[in-house]
């Protein structure tokens, strides 16, 4: 890894891309410290301390802490992520969008990307409107209003600011993808999550100095984080390779020799999406019940605590369900089998068509089961470990998968870029 990084830094083009990416991230972090106009930041800070374990806390993770501070980038790129997921589901269910994605090539991808942008504006508008109206009626535990002077002007200003900031971040993400390193949207989410790590380390050091946490627990937390990273890397990189055989065929007067290759399928093709869906569904009842001042509502709110048995039992069930569901959306065995048949390829010992489809369905279902167990373990175990060790941070589930996934994707792209450059240089020398 260090050798690859050293080789990459020796290339002028890579250095320019790296500087460009860091410049864009600096702009992102700058906007993350500019509060929305009309918001009392001190009252807001006190108010959000009581919102851990709610949907706002989940959303705040993806916004890099911007929601809790109510900055210009309070919504982050989550409206775009939500719109992208919606478009994936709509593309599967609407024939016209399906035709655009499969048959129209670059134009089809451009149109779907354009529709995603329009949907992002709509999602950002709805979310920013909800944030503006909700903030006006909230106060800190001391009774200080979060918005001292509300009204239509505050709502309009907040909506325009948040929607414009979200679309600016989408533009920043596109520029990083085009002129920087890695996938821009993923890099922005990664940067937001990683930005909170130094504060967590400082808090842990302060707790260690004051005696609130023992050196044994600090060592245990470090070992656990390393274990989560190693386990996540192993599963995320693992894949099932299905052997594929191409027969000899005649192209004009020339006979093309057949060959063998493989069809790679990730053990966890659904990625982090099942955890996000499951958390959203379970945290919404807890968030709503938290606003209802009634003994029954409070009892139900406590039952949906992230450390409770009921919450984690339902959490695992939802993760398993959404893993199968989203894997089915991403990988269509009938379509894959049909594409192989059209290309003249086949799985050795298996007839093309229905038999190949059944084979793929069986393999994908088994991989989805393994992936759902992996996601369930990564999502639930860190919660109990962090409570047991009493560490001042949480590293697991969505956080671990996003950080590790983005890091692996960026490293793979750097390696691919280096290999392509070496191949181009070799071809020039041969000529």
Tens of pLDDT, residues 254-264 = 555 557 788 88
Q: How confident is the model at residue 207 (pLDDT cuts 50, 70, 90)?
A: confident
Query: Is pLDDT above 70 for 428?
Result: no
- Do 276 and 319 contact (CB within 8 A), yes or no? no
Q: How confident is the model at residue 4 (pLDDT cuts 50, 70, 90)?
A: low
**Rounded to two decimals, what is the model's pTM?**
0.77
Q: What is the pLDDT of residue 167?
A: 93
**What is the spatial distance between Cα 346 and Cα 309, in angstroms, rounded to a whole number?**
47
**So what's the pLDDT on residue 163?**
92
Averaged over 216-245, what is the pLDDT?
A: 84
pLDDT (average), residues 188-198: 80
Q: What is the pLDDT of residues 38-97, one digit of tens each?
A: 888 777 777 776 655 555 666 666 666 777 778 888 888 888 888 888 888 788 778 888
- Mean pLDDT within 335-344: 84
Encoding tokens for residue 429?
């020398």
Question: Looking at residues 22-47, what average pLDDT do you find?
Answer: 84
Give the separation between CA 57 and CA 336, rounded to whole angstroms. Answer: 39
CA–CA gap between residue 355 and residue 352 (Å, rounded)? 6
Q: What is the pLDDT of residue 13?
A: 77
3-state secondary structure of 143: coil
Percentage of the chain beyond pLDDT 90 is: 7
The beta-carbon contacts of 118-124 under 8 Å, at least 24 apart in sequence, are 119/83, 119/86, 119/87, 120/79, 120/80, 120/83, 120/166, 120/167, 120/170, 121/163, 121/167, 122/83, 123/79, 123/82, 123/83, 123/86, 124/75, 124/79, 124/162, 124/163, 124/166, 124/167
- In the predicted model, what is the mean pLDDT of residues 13-27? 86
Which tokens is 114 given? 């354009």
Rounded mean pLDDT, 189-216 = 79
Report the sign of the C-alpha dihedral through residues 180, 183, 185, 190, in that order. negative
**Crossing angle for the helix pair 55-62 and 78-93, nearest 10 degrees?**
100
Residue bearing the bigger pLDDT, 64 or 175: 175
Tokens 């325009």, located at residue: 160
pLDDT at 332 over 80: yes
Percent of the chain topping pLDDT 70: 81
More confident of the two residues 156 and 422:
156
Mean pLDDT of all residues in 380-403: 70
What are the tens digits of pLDDT across the range 281-323? 776 666 666 666 677 777 776 676 666 778 888 888 988 998 9
Residue 121 has pLDDT above 90, yes or no: yes
Mean pLDDT, residues 135-163 taken together: 83
What integer pLDDT is reported at residue 165 of this predicted model? 92
- What 8-state DSSP symbol labels residue 257? P
Residue 164 has a pLDDT of 93
pLDDT of residue 397: 62
Q: Which domains does the chain have, with CATH numbers?
A: 12-195 (1.10.3370.10), 213-396 (1.10.3370.10)
Q: Pick the residue with more confidence: 413 or 25?
A: 25
| pLDDT exceeds cutoff 80 at 364 | yes
């Amino acid at each position: 890894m260090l050798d690859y990084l050293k080789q990459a830094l020796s290339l002028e083009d890579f250095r320019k891309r790296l500087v460009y990416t860091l410049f864009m991230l600096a702009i992102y972090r700058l906007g993350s410290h500019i509060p929305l106009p009309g918001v009392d930041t001190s009252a807001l800070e006190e108010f959000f301390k009581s919102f851990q374990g709610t949907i706002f806390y989940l959303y705040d993770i993806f916004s890099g802490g911007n929601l809790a501070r109510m900055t210009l980038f309070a919504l982050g790129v989550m409206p775009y992520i939500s719109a992208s997921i919606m478009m994936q589901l709509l593309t599967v269910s609407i024939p016209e969008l399906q035709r655009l994605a499969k048959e129209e090539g670059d134009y089809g991808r451009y149109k779907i990307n354009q529709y995603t942008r329009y949907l992002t504006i709509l999602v950002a508008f709805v979310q920013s409107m909800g944030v503006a109206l909700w903030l006006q009626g909230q106060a800190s535990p001391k009774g200080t209003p979060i918005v001292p002077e509300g009204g239509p002007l505050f709502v309009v200003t907040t909506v325009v600011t948040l929607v414009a900031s979200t679309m600016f971040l989408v533009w920043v993400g596109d520029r990083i993808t085009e002129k920087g390193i890695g996938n821009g949207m993923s890099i922005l989410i990664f940067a937001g999550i990683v930005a909170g790590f130094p504060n967590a380390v400082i808090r842990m050091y302060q707790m260690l100095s004051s005696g609130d946490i023992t050196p044994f627990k600090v060592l245990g937390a470090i070992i656990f984080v390393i274990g989560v990273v190693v386990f996540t890397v192993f599963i995320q990189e693992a894949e099932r390779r299905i052997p594929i055989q191409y027969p000899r065929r005649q192209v004009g007067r020339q006979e093309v020799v057949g060959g063998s290759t493989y069809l790679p399928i990730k053990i966890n093709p659904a990625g982090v999406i099942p955890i996000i869906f499951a958390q959203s569904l379970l945290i919404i009842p807890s968030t709503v019940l938290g606003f209802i001042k009634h003994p029954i509502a409070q009892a139900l709110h406590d039952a949906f605590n992230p450390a409770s048995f009921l919450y984690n039992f339902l959490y695992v069930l939802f993760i398993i369900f959404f893993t199968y569901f989203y894997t089915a959306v991403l990988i269509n065995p009938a379509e894959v089998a049909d594409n192989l048949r059209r290309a003249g390829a086949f799985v050795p010992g298996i007839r093309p068509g229905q038999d190949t489809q059944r084979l793929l369905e069986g393999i994908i279902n088994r991989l989805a089961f393994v992936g759902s167990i992996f996601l369930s373990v990564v999502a639930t175990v860190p919660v109990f470990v962090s409570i047991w060790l009493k560490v001042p941070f949480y590293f697991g589930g969505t956080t671990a998968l996003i950080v590790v996934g983005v890091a692996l994707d960026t490293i793979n792209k750097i390696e691919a870029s280096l290999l392509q450059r070496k191949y181009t240089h070799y071809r020039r020398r041969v000529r």
